[in-house]
Amino acid sequence: MNGFLTEERWKEAVSHLESHFEKELSVAEDCYLNLGGVKTVRLVVADPEAWNMIRRELGWVITSPTASPDATITLLKYDSPKDFFHDAMGLPFVHREDARFEVVCISPENGKDGVLYPTAQFNRDDQTVHLRDVNSYYYVTRSYRPEDWINEGHVFVQMLFRILNSEPSTCLVHGACIGAEGHGILMCARGNMGKSTLAVTSMLDGMEYVSEDYLILSQANPEGELRASPIYSIITLSPRMYNALYEKMDKSRFVGISHFKGKYVFDMSAYSDRLRRDYPIRACVFPEINPSTSEPSVELISGSEKNRAITHIAHSTIFQMWSSGLKREQQDAKTILKILGMVRDMPFYKITLTTDLEANSCCLMGLVSSL
């Protein structure tokens, strides 16, 4: 649903927003996030409980302040996005069950060549309001309670995806990355295919680690080399996998339970000595679990098998992130093509996993050593 405003009316709405939250924001704390050396985001949080949770989730990418961040994310507590628009911005909000985005535009006479300029966008998928002209995001939440916060999962992932996706050679993807001696492996698979367990087990066994769930892929470096960087300093494991890895996870700290995914959440910041940033990728791996197999195995794949692996990481990314454009199909296609361009020239391997987690980790280490 679109609403059309004059430029003057829009400036009044932004001023109204700043005034409405003046008290909360006057005591807010902020931090800056280094997203793979490509983007810097300022994060503003007014609530101490939420602030503590955020520092646990994003500790690995918090960086020094900068005078000109690429975007700002502000966390605000509000009962509903409808009230946010009406009370905080003084704007009407029309709710439609079939609409994923609610958009406010400056009227044609104020836009370039009479074209509507989308100024504010509310995304119903991740409960965010995006003020495009100043590149500010407002995350609207009903609760700061830790149990509710954890249940949301990786809260900022969709906003960070949109911010990073504006770069032609950078993308936030749903995947995992592990390696040794600077030889990184990108794991391409949808959820529940073993990539998180394999990545965490390998890291606990001494391998170098970037991520087990979401990461930043970039070819923005002068060499055009594919590299991976982390976002989150937490991991999520099913109760069954946590039980299997219990003895090894002596330095992890339990954060909470994500009832949405039925998984335990752990702070892994104590393993920062194994964390790697801007990590070069040498190959891609497609994991598949076969409980009836006694030994894990690795084989180089091509053709349809390689295409299937690429499809997994592209479609899994789209499914997890969604896209931010007004025409979702176009944005999804661009993201898929971007990911395809990044990984298609990489060697691809299929690793068949067993129920023996240590054997799987050793098998992966053997592959890395051979690169």
Answer whether 89's CB lies under 8 Å from 5's CB: no
**Nearest Cα to 230, choosing from 41, 53, 38, 61?**
61
Structure token digits, residue 276? 């790697």
User: In this structure, are 137 and 192 located in the same domain?
Assistant: no
Write out the two tokens for 71. 């975007």
**103 has which bridge partners?**
2, 121
Least confident piece of the model among 107-111, 142-146, 148-152, 237-241: 107-111
Asked if 297 and 352 touch (Cβ cutoff 8 Å), the reply is yes
Q: Are the C-beta atoms of 154 and 57 separated by less than 8 Å?
A: yes
Domain boundary among 96, 129, 163: 163
Nearest 5 degrees, angle CA 71-CA 72-CA 75? 150
Whether 155 and 182 share a structural domain: no
What's the number of domains the chain is made of?
Answer: 2
Q: Is-contact 76 46, C-beta < 8 A?
A: yes
* Domain identity same for 205 and 134: no
pLDDT score, position 328: 54
**What single-letter DSSP state applies at residue 275?**
B
Residues 159 and 187 in one domain: no
What's phi and psi for 130, nearest 5 deg? -115, 120
Same domain, 39 and 158: yes
Give CA angle at 228 (222, 192), nearest 5°.
Answer: 155
Q: Residue 343 sits in which domain range?
A: 169-370
Q: Residue 173 corresponds to which amino acid? A: V
Per the DSSP assignment, residues forming a β-bridge with 185 are 178, 283
Q: For position 120, what pLDDT does the model report?
A: 60
Q: How far apart are the first and last CA of the chain?
A: 52
Helix/strand/coil for 122: strand
At 319-333, the pLDDT tens digits run 877 544 434 555 678
Residues 7 and 150 in one domain: yes
Domain end position, chosen among 163, 188, 223: 163
User: Do 227 and 113 fall into the same domain?
Assistant: no
* The model's pTM: 0.86
Residues 128 and 189 occupy one common structural domain: no
Q: Are residues 174 and 159 in the same domain?
A: no
CB distance 87 to 95 below 8 Å: no
DSSP 8-state symbol, 111: S
Query: Is 80 exceeded by the pLDDT of residue 94?
Result: no
Q: Are residues 222 and 362 in the same domain?
A: yes
Q: Based on the fold, state whether residues 144 and 178 are members of the same structural domain.
A: no
> Mean per-residue pLDDT for 349-358?
94
Whether the CB-CB separation of 343 and 310 falls below 8 Å is answered with yes
pLDDT of residue 134: 67
Top mean pLDDT of 14-18, 201-205, 217-221 is at 201-205
Question: What is the CA angle 179-196-62, rounded to 5?
Answer: 70
CATH number at residue 255: 3.40.50.300
Does residue 364 carry a pLDDT above 70? yes
Tell me the C-alpha distance between 265 and 213, whole Å.
12
241-293: per-residue pLDDT in tens?
Answer: 999 999 999 999 998 888 767 889 999 999 999 999 999 999 999 999 988 88
Predicted local confidence at residue 325, as pLDDT:
41
- 247, burial (CB in 10 Å: exposed 0-12, middle 13-18, buried 19+): exposed
Query: In this structure, are 185 and 303 located in the same domain?
Result: yes
Q: What is the pLDDT of residues 157-207, one digit of tens each?
A: 888 888 898 888 999 999 999 999 999 999 998 777 789 999 999 999 999
